[in-house]
Amino acid sequence: MKQKGAEDQPEHILRGVGGSPGIVFATVYRVHAEDAPGLDRVINPGEISGEIERFKTAVNETRLQIDQIQQKVRQAISQGDAIIFDVHKMVLDDSAFFDETIRKIERDRVNAEKALRGVTLRYGEVLSALEDEYLRERAADIKDVARRVLRNLAGEKTHALDELHEKCIVVAADLSPSETASLQRDLVLGFATDVGSSTSHTAIMARAFGIPAVVGLGDVTHRVETGDQILIDGTEGVVILNPSVASLNKYEALARQRDSIQSGLAGLRNQPAITRDGHRVVLSANIELVEEVSEVRKAGAEGVGLFRSEYLYIASRTLPTEEEQLAAYQGVASQLAPDPVIIRTVDLGGDKFASSLNLPPEINPFLGFRAIRFCLAQPTIFKTQLRAILRASAHGKVRIMYPMISNVGEVIRANLILEDCKGELRREAIPFDEHIEVGVMIEIPSAAITADIIAKQVSFFSMGTNDLVQYTLAVDRVNDRVAHLYEPTHPAVLRLMKMTIEAGHARGIWVGVCGQMAGDPLMTHLLLGLGIDELSMAPAALPAVKEMIRSVTLVQAKRLAEGALREDTAAGVLAHCRELMARVAPEILELVK
């Protein structure tokens, strides 16, 4: 139902970034931007020790509160999502951040509130100015932690979001991870924010809770007030202020349609991914955590095509030991056996870093010291991981995959280190799979161009299309100003992919895709026609992709790919993909952005 009098107000549509899928219509609860509590003041020399103790006490109280929130998220969702708050605890435990606040109290003779605000502002400005989106998001973590400390300094124990009494859509300039985690899930039906991206903690938490969200709207907080009614479509990234009856009816029907399609796809869980003329494709899942194995099974995946092992490094304040890594790899391998698990060796650098390594910043980290380059330069760290993977191979079908390969020399050097690890384990009488398969990710143009050479050294290829597109087109995929140039169907990308597939098949090895293209139903027929043997994706994407495979013949897919390779533009390729999709699986078009 619309609010009384709302029919006199015009409908207005805002477009942002889809943070978490779903459609919801409800009353707005607007979170007003407000300064953290506590007045700033100059103090007397005799007050300095007391202010320092106030600060230390507030920090300890904040740490306990974050522990409680983390435990709540761990019980409600998963260990993986709860580890987000380790970043907050790392801020509190950061000696530079902590000590600088104390020094400011002593040097400037100001109270704890003023000192903390000054340090937070400086850190926030530095991080917010960086081009790297992941690091910019960390500025929000620091501000969130500081707000909690400031509230504890002022003796405040509650927040407006803790006092909701009815169902609503929360609208805010931004929502911190801790605020999102503490949302009352039975009352908060969705949220919309001025800022944010699909990689921000806000979006991650929204997806984990199953709350529809649209982020990056710019000024939605200036356009609504508490009590207004809005509709949000987290799939399309659309927010409608004062939706008309026609819009409400349209989106209600769309929500029912999407729910019906998803329910129907769930029935494919135990069906094979096989084309109408009998060609079979392997569908695997991408994961980061042992806890995600249940989702792999639920989706009907045939194992794991990409285990992102760097998560074990990012989530820990110290380098994970061989035994810690073994526990994780063995846990996944044993649960999924006899299905395979492909463990990608640690891919740190770019937008992923581990605090324990204290790596210096780089001007262009995506082209810098990362992934296999880091591993080859740090053989002790690399060998610890390889030993753990080899040991896990005794408990299931484990495969190894090297990331960011640019030349065959890197593969040869990595394999020599692997052979050293095998020799050590033999001497120690520790069992492992003597015939473990080793593959590489093809995500750099030089690797695709020399795929025929690299194929001689490996058992399989898996194309990381996110980076392959980025490096081929010289487009930073997280830069809003050039996002329109990021085109997975660009002719150059397709030619490199086709070159890689042909090189692999000529050598008798299989070729897969584990990038975002693998989980996009609009790309399925194209990849199938190019000759892909395996697709690995987020578990939730698998049912729709399976339906796309089962809806077409291999002959149709090959005809599509042949036409795509003759196209001059990315848009032209997409048009062909949509045309075939509309003919053989029109219902899936409703699930494609």
Which residues are annotated as catalytic?
201, 514
**Is residue 448 packed enough to be buried (19+ CB in 10 Å), middle (13-18) or exposed (0-12)?**
buried
User: What type of residue sits at position 319?
Assistant: L
Q: What does the alpha-carbon distance between residue 524 and residue 546 come to, in Å, rounded to a whole number? A: 9
Residue located via tokens 């506590």: 38
SS3 sequence, 21-63? CCEEEEEEEECCCCCCCCCCCECCHHHHHHHHHHHHHHHHHHH
CA angle, residues 537, 542, 544, in degrees to nearest 5: 130
With both helix axes pointing from N to C terminus, report the angle between 554-566 and 570-584 in degrees, rounded to the nearest 10.
Answer: 160
Closest CA to 11 of 218, 191, 229, 171: 229
CA 393 to chain centre: 27
SS3 content of the chain, % helix, strand, coil (to 5): 55, 15, 30
Q: What does the alpha-carbon distance between residue 292 and residue 301 come to, in Å, rounded to a whole number? A: 12
Residue located via tokens 């600088």: 100
Distances (CA, A) of 297 to 76, 77, 261, 308: 20, 17, 20, 18
